[in-house]
A and B are shown apart, each in its own frame.
Chain A
Amino acid sequence: MIEAMKLSKRFGSIEAAREVSFVARNGEITGLLGANGAGKSTCLRMLYGVLTPDGGRACIDGIDILGETSKARAHLGVLPHAAGLYNNLTARENIRYFGSLHGMDSERLKSRTAELSLALGMDSFIDRRAKGFSQGQRIKVALARALVHDPGNVVLDEPTNGLDVMAIRNLREMLLQLKAQGRCVLFSSHVMQEVAALCDRVIIIGHGRVLADATVQEIRERSGAKSLEEAFLQVLGDTEGVS
């Protein structure tokens, strides 16, 4: 479970997050929807502790990310916006590197890598160097890297960016798999259809504020709009550009 409690962050004169609060539960996929620059990445970065909030706090499975950073991170898998690989290492070595840094021993690393390779369909390229990988292959390795320590919570920042249709479908299946395993999945996106198709719960962010926090169904009912698109636009107001 991931909890954000009144998270605030300011960069100079820009308020990137203003008292953002929400909960992402286990066994659910939670979507963070907002336009580019709405503050999604800032919120996620505070959740995994690479940014320190000016106010408020964040907990992973009840552990404060600022107070006990390492312990909280052990429960968390992160796929940041830029999820680059080490091109001179093989897919397996990329995954092992992160596993080792999580403190896993080589016995466990071996079995876990085999597990992930099978689950994500990486067997054909697991021992190839990452240099020539397609975007789809890269995202698989990056996801495996984020999941290597078997975390209960997964945060993904715009994971579908730059992926083709096939790769997006694959990613969707992977996220549903994670949900079925009872994990807490939190991902950000500016693509509405994607969020609508996947998420149990949607948090709409605009100008650093939470504008709505509900299920897709609830949002539609509350706004009284016919289509999902209209409902979102009503919540966001006309100024926000959501595609």
Chain B
Amino acid sequence: MRTLFVVFGKEFLENLRDRRTLLSALLFGPLFGPILFGFMVSRMLEQNVVESDVPVKLTISGSRYAPGLTRYLEGQGIKLTKKDLSENEARAAVRGGSSQVVLLVTEDYPRLFAEAKPAPILLIADSADSQTRKIADRARAILGSYGSGIAQLRLQMRGVSPLLALPVAVNEVDVATPTGRAVVVLGFMTYFVLFALLMGGLYLAIDSTAGERERGSLEALLSLPVARAALVGGKVLATCAYMCISLGLSLTAFVCVFRFVPLERLGMSANLGFHTALIFFAICLPFVPLGATLMTLVASFTRSYREAQTYLTTVLLVPTLPIAFASIYSLKTKSSLMFIPSLSQHLLMTSVLRDERIFLRDVLVSAGASLAIALLLFVFTARHWRRESMLG
């Protein structure tokens, strides 16, 4: 036990003096996620604002043939630019980008309209451009409502109830709560939290194993009268400590970032105060020893710092896999999924964000499964350290 604490103390102190460890554990890991995240959300907010507040601009050609339509469009708040273009000119204008969407009213329009036959309008847009597509969609919707308005009038004039033309009345009801909508955005957040957690211990896991071998201090250490399991235990414990610090910093940074990002403007409320952050910390805590032993085990097999770095970068991706699956199959918190580490932490955190009830049993299963795997990995690691091949 004493050995464990001696090793822990030395590894903790040594890495506290290492700039690389500090940068990744206490700066890059914890802050990368929240900052990127705040940026992403702010950007989304800006775009939404653009879509709903800025009036749609259309270029209309041949508006003199359809004065009624022109008035209607202007009445809907659309900014019309009136031009006289042939069809080819209109296509070229859209393709060249001088006009985003062009409405082309042809000469036949007034005659066919008067005869109550389908009067042609060309809507020219580039569907490969997401910005134009949105404008075209809005134009299509407005044209549709203009058309059905005219149709109703025509039916009325012929003594037919316009309701006959409306066999089904569709009313959409959106049950998403403001918090629920935010979850789509906040779903990424859980990954960043787990990423920061692993980043915190990455360099220490490398330094205390492959680093020890590379700088040639390993053999002297292994020839001391101490149990190898205690050596590994101290190293894993120090790695855990850095991971906890990183996790704490990351959550704090998230809380701060969300103070400044006006989520309410998206019709969302972020359920992320310090209280939630504490719950997150508790949920993630059992994942810490799992990550630490996994990284220590992998790094123990490598010969050099560089090799360890290569392998561990892959390990950093491991927690993404279950989370990716979860979003592809839109998995929800279920007891059976609580046995899968990283996925269970992700689901529990998402549930907390959604303001859903979480069950103590699920939390315990999630923690138990992670800790059991951590213990298993620790036994493997300690056994590997007892091998002769450890000397390299």
Q: Tell me if chain B binds chain A.
A: yes
Q: Are B219 and A101 in contact (CB under 8 A)?
A: no
Task: Name which of A17-25, A73-81, A222-230 contacts chain B.
Answer: A73-81
The residues of A that contact B222 with a CB separation of less than 8 Å are 50
Whether a CB of chain A sits under 8 angstroms from the CB of B225 is yes
Q: Which residue of B lies closest to A129 (CB)?
A: B17
Q: Are A80 and B223 in contact (CB under 8 A)?
A: yes
Whether a CB of chain B sits under 8 angstroms from the CB of A197 is no
Chain B min CB distance to A72 (Å): 8
A 84-128 contacts with B by CB, 8 A:
84-89, 93, 97-98, 100-103
Q: Which residue of B lies closest to A87 (CB)?
A: B215
Supposing A89-B10, A97-B10 touch, asked if A84 and B217 sit within 8 A by C-beta, the answer is: yes
Q: Which residue of B lies closest to A89 (CB)?
A: B14
The residues of B that contact A83 with a CB separation of less than 8 Å are 216-217, 220
Chain B 218-261, CB-CB to A under 8 Å as 1, else 0, gives 11111111100000000000000000000000000000000000
Whether a CB of chain B sits under 8 angstroms from the CB of A1 is no
The residues of A that contact B2 with a CB separation of less than 8 Å are 100, 103
Instruction: Please tell me which one of the listed residues B15, B216, B224 contacts residue A102 in the complex, with CB atoms under 8 A apart.
Output: B224
Whether a CB of chain A sits under 8 angstroms from the CB of B388 is yes
Supposing A70-B225, A98-B224 touch, asked if A81 and B215 sit within 8 A by C-beta, the answer is: no
Whether a CB of chain A sits under 8 angstroms from the CB of B150 is no
A 27-80 contacts with B by CB, 8 A:
45, 48-52, 69-74, 76, 78-80
Chain B min CB distance to A130 (Å): 10
Chain B min CB distance to A146 (Å): 7
The residues of A that contact B3 with a CB separation of less than 8 Å are 101
Q: Which residue of A lies closest to B217 (CB)?
A: A84
Q: Are B220 and A78 in contact (CB under 8 A)?
A: yes
Q: Which residue of B lies closest to A72 (CB)?
A: B225
Q: Are B225 and A74 in contact (CB under 8 A)?
A: yes
Chain B 371-392, CB-CB to A under 8 Å as 1, else 0, gives 0000000000000000010010
Whether a CB of chain B sits under 8 angstroms from the CB of A145 is yes
Whether a CB of chain B sits under 8 angstroms from the CB of A204 is no
Whether a CB of chain A sits under 8 angstroms from the CB of B6 is yes
Q: Are B14 and A80 in contact (CB under 8 A)?
A: no
Q: Are B224 and A73 in contact (CB under 8 A)?
A: yes
Q: Which residue of A lies closest to B392 (CB)?
A: A82
Supposing A101-B3, A102-B225 touch, asked if A86 and B220 sit within 8 A by C-beta, the answer is: no
Within the assembled complex, what's the spacing in Å between the Cα atoms of A70 and B3? 13
Supposing A50-B388, A84-B217, A85-B217 touch, asked if A97 and B6 sit within 8 A by C-beta, the answer is: yes
Q: Are B225 and A80 in contact (CB under 8 A)?
A: no
Number of CB contacts from chain A to chain B under 8 A: 79
Q: Are B220 and A70 in contact (CB under 8 A)?
A: no
Within the assembled complex, what's the spacing in Å between the Cα atoms of A48 and B388? 13
> What count of chain B residues pass the 8 Å CB interface test?
24
Instruction: Please tell me which one of the listed residues B17, B219, B225, B226 contacts residue A50 in the complex, with CB atoms under 8 A apart.
Output: B219
> What count of chain A residues pass the 8 Å CB interface test?
36
Q: Which residue of B lies closest to A157 (CB)?
A: B219
A 198-242 contacts with B by CB, 8 A:
none
The residues of B that contact A88 with a CB separation of less than 8 Å are 14-15, 17-18
B 1-43 contacts with A by CB, 8 A:
2-3, 6-7, 10, 13-15, 17-18
The residues of A that contact B18 with a CB separation of less than 8 Å are 88
The residues of B that contact A2 with a CB separation of less than 8 Å are none
Q: Are B224 and A80 in contact (CB under 8 A)?
A: no
Q: Are A80 and B388 in contact (CB under 8 A)?
A: no
Within the assembled complex, what's the spacing in Å between the Cα atoms of A101 and B15? 19
Within the assembled complex, what's the spacing in Å between the Cα atoms of A87 and B14? 8
Instruction: Please tell me which one of the listed residues B13, B215, B220 contacts residue A98 in the complex, with CB atoms under 8 A apart.
Output: B220
Within the assembled complex, what's the spacing in Å between the Cα atoms of A153 and B193? 52
Whether a CB of chain B sits under 8 angstroms from the CB of A147 is no
Q: Are B225 and A69 in contact (CB under 8 A)?
A: yes
The residues of B that contact A184 with a CB separation of less than 8 Å are none
The residues of B that contact A100 with a CB separation of less than 8 Å are 2, 6
Q: Are A80 and B10 in contact (CB under 8 A)?
A: no
The residues of B that contact A79 with a CB separation of less than 8 Å are 220
Instruction: Please tell me which one of the listed residues B13, B218, B219 contacts residue A89 in the complex, with CB atoms under 8 A apart.
Output: B13
Supposing A45-B391, A84-B215, A86-B14 touch, asked if A101 and B226 sit within 8 A by C-beta, the answer is: yes
Whether a CB of chain B sits under 8 angstroms from the CB of A178 is no
Chain B 49-82, CB-CB to A under 8 Å as 1, else 0, gives 0000000000000000000000000000000000
- Chain A contacts to B: CB under 8 angstroms: 45, 48-52, 69-74, 76, 78-89, 93, 97-98, 100-103, 129, 142, 145-146
- Chain B contacts to A: CB under 8 angstroms: 2-3, 6-7, 10, 13-15, 17-18, 215-226, 388, 391
Chosen A-B contacts, 30 in total, with CB atoms closer than 8 Å, are A45-B391, A48-B223, A50-B219, A50-B391, A51-B388, A52-B388, A73-B223, A73-B224, A73-B225, A76-B223, A78-B220, A79-B220, A81-B219, A83-B216, A83-B220, A84-B217, A84-B220, A87-B215, A88-B14, A88-B15, A89-B14, A93-B13, A98-B220, A98-B224, A101-B226, A102-B224, A103-B2, A103-B225, A129-B17, A146-B220
Given contacts A70-B226, A80-B223, A88-B18, 10 further A-B contacts (CB under 8 A): A70-B225, A71-B225, A78-B219, A80-B216, A85-B217, A89-B10, A89-B17, A98-B224, A101-B3, A102-B225
